Amino acid sequence: MKHLLDIGVLTPDDLHHLMALTDHMVEVNQRPIPKVPALRGKTVVNLFFENSTRTLTSFDTAARRLSADVMNFAVSSSSVNKGESLRDTIETISAMGVDAFVVRHKSSGAPMQVTKWTNASVVNAGDGWHQHPTQALLDCYTIRTHLNRRTGFDGLHIAIVGDIKHSRVARSNVQAFTALGAHVTLVAPPTLLPPAVETWPVTVSHDLDSLIAKVDVLYLLRMQRERMVDALVPSLREYTGAYGLTPLRAARLRPHALVMHPGPMNRGVEMAVDPSELPGSMVLHQVTNGVAVRMAVLFELLGSGADLATSA
């Protein structure tokens, strides 16, 4: 694997392989000194043209735990603000000697474009509405671990609720969850569903209350107000009333059901309970697993033959 741009190109075997590699990274992260020399001498550049808390810091942590050198490119203080193009930015940084670019961009397809301007590996850290492959991997890993599903997701029912239309997480997760065998239901008002949703391998519902007591995983999405150009819901209060996780709905979840959210959360909108009070909340486990999954991805792309047993 040279690049990770799109979760949809990975086979179920590829997904299982990356999750097995993540098991090793979890073990590394539990050591007193959570660091291995696997990527010593490699340089990873985090190039984020959109804001991020979780993805940026976890790629940074992941690369350092594998002993890579890390450059965090600060777009706001760079020559991008003087009109430098994405191509010139990539070619300039590549000329310094780079092994991997981790790219987040508001335009769908930007990480794919980057692969044409560098010999380095490229990881898509979220592009527009399109893809967020490492989020899908960490979500699969979290479900695999917490529902003890090491061999696959056959028989699992996962509901993804909310702003599907603008969500790269929904697109990536539907592909990964269904590839592993889960049944996925998208739950949203018609205005927040994507065009041609009937071609997706899912069922669609507009009625969260009829489903909530049946699902194994309730995956809530953020209302992406920054990507909405029209008024797609009458009001956030009405949205919460129909699709938010309220205390009444939380009380109807099955005892083993997981509640997941990629973050950042809109508290009081889609997450109308305190997730720290939900026994099944995976919100912080997802963040923890994000570091190990991103270590696995960087190791897979850059670390062939390196040793994970030795501490740095």
Considering only 111, 126, 162, 189, the residue that binds ligand CP (CB under 6 A) is 126
Residue environment code for 268-285, b if the CB has 16+ CB neighbours within 10 A, otherwise e: ebbbbbebeebebbbbeb
Strand partners, 159: 185, 218
Closest CA to 102 of 130, 76, 77, 134: 134
CB of 53 to ligand CP, least distance (A): 4
Of the candidate spans 111-119, 201-209, 246-254, 256-264, the one that interacts with ligand CP by CB under 6 A turns out to be 256-264
Take residue 178 and report the two structure tokens written for it: 């269904």
# of chain residues touching ligand CP (CB under 6 A) = 9
Take residue 88 and report the two structure tokens written for it: 């010139």
Give the three-class secondary structure for 17.
Answer: helix
Considering only 189, 262, 275, 280, the residue that binds ligand CP (CB under 6 A) is 262
Nearer to ligand CP, 124 or 135 (CB): 135
Nearer to ligand CP, 104 or 183 (CB): 104
82 is catalytic: yes
CB of 310 to ligand CP, least distance (A): 31
CB of 125 to ligand CP, least distance (A): 7
CB of 264 to ligand CP, least distance (A): 6
Question: Please, where are the H alpha helices in the chain?
Answer: 12-29, 54-65, 86-94, 110-115, 133-146, 168-179, 208-211, 236-243, 247-250, 283-302
Strand 183-187 vs strand 157-161: parallel, antiparallel, or unpaired?
Answer: parallel
CA 191 vs CA 127, 164, 165, 239: distances in Å? 22, 10, 8, 12
Residues 306, 279: contact at Cβ < 8 Å? Answer: no
CB of 106 to ligand CP, least distance (A): 12
Closest CA to 183 of 199, 163, 205, 159: 159
Does the protein bind ligand CP through residue 264 (CB under 6 A)? yes
Question: For 66, what's the count of Cα atoms within 13 Å in the CB-facing half-sphere?
Answer: 34
Considering only 61, 135, 142, 172, the residue that binds ligand CP (CB under 6 A) is 135
Nearer to ligand CP, 52 or 113 (CB): 52
294 is catalytic: no
Does the protein bind ligand CP through residue 54 (CB under 6 A)? yes
* Annotated catalytic residue within 54, 64, 206, 249: 54
55 is catalytic: yes
Of the candidate spans 38-46, 53-61, 181-189, 302-310, the one that interacts with ligand CP by CB under 6 A turns out to be 53-61
132 is catalytic: yes
Nearer to ligand CP, 206 or 285 (CB): 285
Catalytic residues: 54-55, 82, 104, 132
Write out the residues near ligand CP by the rule CB under 6 A: 52-55, 126, 135, 262-264
